[in-house]
Amino acid sequence: MARTRQNGEGSVYRRASDGMWIGSITIGWEGDKRIRKTVSAKTGAAVREKLRVAQAMIDAGLPLDDDELTVNQLLDRWFIMRHQVASPALSNYETIARIHIRPTLGRKQVAKLKPAEIDALLSAKLDSGLAVSTVRRIRSVLAQALTQAQRWEMVGRNAASLSRPPRAPRSEGRSLSPEQVGQLVTAMTEDRLASLFLTMLGTGLRRGEALGLRWSDIDLDHAVLNHGELGTVVGKSLGSGAAGTSRWWGVH
């Protein structure tokens, strides 16, 4: 059938072999070679709508919907867009993706990814002996990448968000007895981090809070410590993370 074209759209025609409607639009150039995006549907109106969406995404500078896009390719795009991921977390996300996500799901097409496949991955990771917290991070990284794919209009749903997060077993909180505290203080007297550990013992600061401490957090005149920012270790360097809820401790 002859090609038809309405104002502002690409080439649209009906394929004789199977009756499917085909549309294409120019999305760029590589030297003298035209790069085109091709879509198909059962009706001409559906093809024209797909072309309209594609043109809108081009005009907005967004990546086009790609039915062949794999999980590996999505992760690559997401990590390149570094402003989408907090810097201290980026290295951890890349490691999780490389070790736990890419080997199993990397070649899967994003548009065809199913919650059951992600549930199976998470179950396999738990069975391998990984901690529940680690498996939850695997799911979180994948869910965040797919959320970005939704913003880019690459997928209509987030398969990772529809999967079931693993439940952490309930456990009793642990604390040191006065005798154990005394033994710990004696043992770390000569340690270069003794001041840090003593501060954590005396205030109940978590590791991230203690790593984020600055001299400006301590008010020696009033004997208080006010701190609300978390510190994060990335490799061998220390960086500041997002501010948390400000808390006060007495310093005696």
Q: What is the chain's pLDDT, residue by residue, as a tens digit (252 residues)? A: 444 544 445 689 999 999 999 999 887 776 788 878 888 889 999 999 988 888 887 787 766 656 678 899 899 888 887 665 666 677 888 999 999 999 999 999 898 899 999 999 999 999 999 999 999 999 999 999 999 888 877 777 899 999 999 887 666 667 788 888 888 888 888 888 888 888 888 877 888 778 878 888 777 777 777 765 554 444 444 444 555 544 554 555
CA distance 84 to 90: 9
- Eight-state DSSP code of residue 174: -
CA distance 138 to 123: 11
- Eight-state DSSP code of residue 50: H
CA distance 223 to 131: 40
Task: Output the six-digit token pair for 76.
Answer: 């690559």
Rg of the chain, C-alpha, whole Å: 27
Task: Output the six-digit token pair for 64.
Answer: 């086009």
Report the side by side order of strands in the sheet with 33-41. Answer: 11-14, 21-30, 33-41
Q: Do the beta carbons of residue 139 and residue 122 sit within 8 Å?
A: yes
**C-alpha dihedral (70, 71, 76, 77), degrees to nearest 10:** 70
Chain length of the chain? 252
Give the residue among 226, 210, 206 at the shortest CA–CA distance from 218: 226
**Predicted TM-score of the model (pTM):** 0.50
CA atoms within 13 A on the CB side of 173: 3
Task: Output the six-digit token pair for 134.
Answer: 């680690």
Q: Do the beta carbons of residue 64 and residue 27 sit within 8 Å?
A: yes
Q: Which residues pair with 104 in a beta bridge?
A: none
Q: Reduced to 3 states, what is the DSSP secondary structure of residue 75?
A: helix
CA distance 59 to 152: 13
CA distance 130 to 145: 22
Q: Which residues pair with 232 in a beta bridge?
A: 239
Q: Topology of 71-162 in CATH?
A: DNA polymerase; domain 1 (1.10.150)
* Model pLDDT, residue 214: 80
CA distance 55 to 27: 8
Q: Reduced to 3 states, what is the DSSP secondary structure of residue 25?
A: strand
Ordered by start, the domain boundaries in the chain are 11-59, 71-162, 189-250
CA distance 232 to 234: 6
